[in-house]
C-alpha cells in the first residue's frame, strides 16, 4: 500500500455516501491540527473517496491544499462494500470506560481531549453501576439519540419482556415506546 499526496481538488466525495459526517468535522479538524494527518484518505482510481469523507471535509475546513491518500486497487463493487464496511465495523467497537478514564487521566494536563469529542465530566461510571455490569464486564445500555442510559440486568430483562409481550400482542414494533408510558399501542 502506497501513500500519495493529492491536491484536495483532485478528490471527490462519494455522491451516495450514507454517513452524515458534519457533526464530526470540527473534532477531526482539531485532531489533524494537533497531530497532523495520520490516516490517509482512501480514494478509487477516479479520485472518489472510498474511506475518509470526514477527514476530507476537515482538511477542506483547515484550508489544506494537499492530503495524503491511498489509491484503492479494489473493484468498484468491492470499493462500494468497503465504504460501508469501514464505517459499520467502527461502530461495533465499544469503550472500556475504566481503561479509557486511565488513558485520559494521563493526558489531561498536556492535551485537551474535549477538542476531539471526549466529555471528561460524563466519563466516570459510578461504582454501583460497575457492579451491575454483566459477567463479561461490559455494561448494558439503552441508547437513543445522543443518550446512553446504563441498565441493570433486571431493567434489561423487564424491557425485553415488555417488548416481547408487545410484539406478541400487536405483531409490530410501532407504538412499543408509547406502551411503556401506558398509552394504547395502536
For each of the chain's 186 residues, which pLDDT tens digit applies?
Answer: 899 999 999 999 999 999 988 989 999 999 999 999 999 999 999 999 999 999 999 999 999 999 999 999 999 999 999 999 998 888 888 878 788 888 888 887 788 888 888 776 555 444 444 444 444 455 677 777 667 778 777 888 888 888 788 778 877 777 777 777 776 544
Run of H or E residues at 85: helix 76-92
Torsion, CA 78, CA 20, CA 91, CA 156, rounded to 10 = -140
The pLDDT of residue 184: 55
The pLDDT of residue 156: 81
Q: What is the pTM of this model?
A: 0.64
List the one residue out of 128, 107, 125, 106 whose CA is nearest residue 116: 107
Q: Which CATH number is 3-92 given?
A: 3.90.1530.10
The pLDDT of residue 130: 43
- Domain boundaries for CATH 3.90.1530.10 within the chain: 3-92
Amino acid at each position: 500500500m502506497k501513500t500519495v499526496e493529492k491536491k484536495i481538488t483532485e478528490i471527490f466525495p462519494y455522491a451516495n455516501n450514507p454517513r452524515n459526517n458534519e457533526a464530526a468535522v470540527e473534532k477531526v479538524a482539531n485532531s489533524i491540527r494537533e497531530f497532523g494527518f495520520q490516516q490517509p484518505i482512501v480514494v478509487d482510481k477516479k479520485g472518489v473517496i472510498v474511506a475518509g469523507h470526514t477527514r476530507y471535509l476537515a482538511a477542506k475546513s483547515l484550508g489544506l491544499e494537499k492530503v495524503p491518500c491511498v489509491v484503492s486497487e479494489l473493484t468498484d463493487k468491492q470499493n462500494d462494500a468497503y465504504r460501508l464496511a469501514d464505517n459499520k465495523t467502527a461502530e461495533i467497537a465499544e469503550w472500556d470506560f475504566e481503561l479509557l478514564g486511565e488513558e485520559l487521566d494521563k493526558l489531561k494536563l498536556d492535551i485537551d481531549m474535549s477538542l476531539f469529542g471526549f466529555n471528561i465530566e460524563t466519563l466516570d461510571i459510578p461504582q454501583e453501576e460497575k457492579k451491575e455490569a454483566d459477567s463479561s464486564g461490559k455494561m448494558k445500555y439503552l441508547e437513543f439519540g445522543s443518550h446512553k442510559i446504563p441498565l441493570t440486568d433486571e431493567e434489561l430483562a423487564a424491557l425485553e419482556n415488555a417488548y416481547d409481550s408487545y410484539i406478541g400482542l400487536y405483531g409490530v414494533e410501532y407504538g412499543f415506546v408509547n406502551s411503556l408510558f401506558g398509552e394504547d399501542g395502536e
